[in-house]
Structure formats: structure tokens, C-alpha cells
């Protein structure tokens, strides 16, 4: 994290694609004397959201504003080396980063519990802040809105599931896919929320597409490891992704699931 003291205007002038400066009470920073009371703190992946500059009050050190910036790829953050890193995070660099990461973890844990217990729509950002024991301003310092918080929860869940799945290479593919379905069963409310939000939120739709790509890649890897031709594996992975999502989204008996998964994993494989 790079911290910039003094007048934030210089930092803001250097930041291409600045959209706006908004105080968290809804006002815009307009007068020069208002800006003089702020110093800018620019954050990377840890603590702040990608492409944002947070402004703090000099006297109280309370975060009171956020500058949103377009990224170099039309608003899409640059891809991580691994889309589903462990818990979707980078390693903290120092104690301050660790403290922030712990607070972020706490917020995500609380949000996940509330989303699953009472539903996404019934869960407010104020409710998450209260349950996590943080001020609303602190919550918005980490997450710009509820969809961003939902995506962080989803990234953590998928990262943990894929990490566990990577340690099951000794098991048959059908057994691994059945385990995957069971793992997502435990978060069925989140799966339902994603499908409900896809048509309403660009961010959730982008996440859903990213999840499809990750599941496609996982299936291609598993099918080619069993001897399937790469081109055929790509086609089968596309089919498999939609079959798996259908099994996640709609109720099926354990026997029905097993039958479908065994059929799917046997298609096109060498005898």
C-alpha cells in the first residue's frame, strides 16, 4: 500500500480515468478548502477495492470519501495469476495488512452467515456492520456495496472448494464431482442468490461467467488427464458445466445425481 500525505489533488490529477470524489455522506468534494482537509491513501488488493483511492480526514483519520477509477481494461480489474487463489487473497505484507485482512475475514464470515440464514435481500449493509462489530464507514471502506460483498463471499467459498478438490486427484472423477455438488449444497442459498442477481447486477453476472470459465477449465483438466482428446474435452466440459449447474440449482435425489454424473464422466472416454 502506498500512502500519500498532503493535498490529494496532485494524486487525483495523476490518476487517469477518475470518475468522481464522493464523501460517504453522499456529498461531493467540490471546494478547495474541503480537499485541504483530506489526505489520500491509495490501496491495492489488500484492504481496498481495486482501482480506488480512499480519503481520510487529517484530524480524525476516519475514512470519509472514495475516488473511483476506471481500470485500463474498461472497468475490469486485471486478471490474477490464479483466478481462484486460496480464499481469493494475496498474502499480507505486514502487521497492518494482517489486521486489515483479519477484519475483512470477519466481515466476510458474518456476511456469509447472514446471507445464508436470512437471505441476500433481507440482509442490509448496516446489519452486516452491526453483526461484525464495525462502523458502517469501515464496512464501506472494504466493500463499495452489497454485491461486492457477495462476490467476496463467493470467491472465498469457491476458492476453498477448488483447493480441497485439488487434493482428491486419487479419487475417480465421478466421486470428485459428486463431492463438489455436495459442497455447493451447503451454500444453496448463495447459488440461488447468484442466479437471481445475474440479470440485475453486472458485477454478479461477470462473477457467474468467471465461475463458468473456472469450472470449464477444471473439467477439461480432469477429462484430458483421463485420456480424452483436448478438443473433445473442451466440448464435454461446456456440456458438463451446464449439467453441473443444473444439478446445483434444482433438487435431485442422491441416486439421480449419481446416475447423471456417472453418465457425464463416461462420455467419450477411451475404453
Give the rounded distance of the alpha carbon of 177 from its chain centre: 22
Contact 112, 157 (CB under 8 A): yes
- The reply to whether 136 and 217 lie within a common domain is no
pLDDT of residue 221: 87
Query: Residue 23: which of 54, 58, 60, 59 has the closest Cα?
Result: 54
Does residue 157 fall inside a structural domain?
no
Does residue 63 fall inside a structural domain?
yes
User: What is the DSSP code (8-state) at residue 78?
Assistant: P
Domain termination site, one of 19, 42, 69:
69
- Domain with 137, as residue range(s), is 87-147
pLDDT of residue 269: 57
- The reply to whether 125 and 175 lie within a common domain is no
Does residue 260 fall inside a structural domain?
yes
Which positions ≥6 away from 143 have C-beta within 8 Å? 49, 107, 125, 149, 152
- The reply to whether 191 and 222 lie within a common domain is yes
pLDDT of residue 154: 95
- The reply to whether 201 and 258 lie within a common domain is yes
C-alpha cell at 52: 480506488
CB atoms within 10 A of CB 269: 14
Q: What are the CA-CA distances from residue 29 to residues 129, 139, 142, 145 (Å)?
A: 25, 21, 21, 20
The Cα–Cα gap between 53 and 55 comes to 7
- Which positions of the chain have pLDDT values less than 50? 1-82, 85-88, 90-92, 271
- The reply to whether 188 and 141 lie within a common domain is no
Does residue 203 fall inside a structural domain?
yes
Query: Residue 38: which of 48, 46, 30, 50 has the closest Cα?
Result: 30
Does residue 43 fall inside a structural domain?
yes
pLDDT of residue 19: 35
- The reply to whether 202 and 242 lie within a common domain is yes
pLDDT of residue 96: 66
Contact 85, 159 (CB under 8 A): yes
pLDDT tens readout for residues 43-94? 333 333 333 444 444 444 444 444 433 333 344 443 333 455 444 454 445 5
- The reply to whether 179 and 254 lie within a common domain is yes
Which positions ≥6 away from 176 have C-beta within 8 Å? 165, 168, 222
- The reply to whether 30 and 98 lie within a common domain is no
Q: Can you give the CATH number for the domain in which 102 is found?
A: 1.10.10.60
Does residue 80 fall inside a structural domain?
no
Does residue 114 fall inside a structural domain?
yes
- The reply to whether 104 and 30 lie within a common domain is no
Coarse DSSP helix, strand, coil percentages of the chain, rounded to the nearest 5 percent: 55, 10, 35
C-alpha cell at 51: 482501482
Does residue 143 fall inside a structural domain?
yes
- The reply to whether 137 and 184 lie within a common domain is no
- The reply to whether 141 and 179 lie within a common domain is no
Domains identified in the chain, total number: 3
pLDDT of residue 253: 82
What's the chain's length in residues? 271
Domain termination site, one of 41, 69, 97:
69
Amino acid at each position: 500500500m502506498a500512502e500519500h500525505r498532503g493535498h490529494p489533488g496532485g494524486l487525483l490529477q495523476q490518476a487517469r480515468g477518475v470518475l468522481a470524489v464522493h464523501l460517504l455522506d453522499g456529498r461531493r468534494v467540490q471546494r478547495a478548502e474541503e480537499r485541504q482537509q483530506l489526505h489520500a491513501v491509495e490501496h491495492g488488493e489488500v484492504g481496498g477495492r481495486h482501482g480506488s483511492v480512499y480519503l481520510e480526514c487529517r484530524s480524525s483519520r476516519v475514512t470519509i470519501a472514495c475516488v473511483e477509477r476506471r481500470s485500463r481494461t474498461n472497468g475490469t480489474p486485471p486478471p490474477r495469476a490464479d483466478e481462484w487463489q486460496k480464499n481469493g487473497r494475496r498474502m499480507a505484507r505486514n502487521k497492518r495488512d494482517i489486521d486489515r485482512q483479519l477484519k475483512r475475514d470477519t466481515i466476510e464470515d458474518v456476511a456469509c452467515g447472514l446471507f445464508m440464514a436470512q437471505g441476500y435481500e433481507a440482509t442490509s449493509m448496516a446489519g452486516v456492520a452491526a453483526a461484525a462489530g464495525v462502523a458502517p464507514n469501515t464496512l464501506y471502506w472494504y466493500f463499495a456495496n452489497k454485491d461486492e460483498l457477495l462476490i467476496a463471499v463467493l470467491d472465498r467459498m469457491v476458492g476453498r472448494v477448488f483447493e480441497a478438490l485439488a487434493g482428491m486427484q486419487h479419487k475417480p472423477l465421478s466421486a470428485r464431482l459428486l463431492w463438489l455438488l455436495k459442497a455447493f449444497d451447503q451454500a444453496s442459498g448463495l447459488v440461488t442468490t447468484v442466479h437471481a442477481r445475474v440479470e440485475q447486477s453486472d458485477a454478479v453476472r461477470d462473477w457467474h461467467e468467471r465461475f463458468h470459465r473456472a469450472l470449464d477449465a477444471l473439467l477439461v483438466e480432469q477429462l484430458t488427464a483421463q485420456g480424452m482428446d483436448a478438443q473433445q474435452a473442451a466440448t464435454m466440459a461446456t456440456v458438463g458445466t451446464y449439467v453441473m449447474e443444473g444439478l446445483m440449482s434444482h433438487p435431485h435425489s442422491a441416486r439421480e445425481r449419481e446416475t447423471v454424473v456417472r453418465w457425464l464422466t463416461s462420455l467419450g472416454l477411451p475404453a
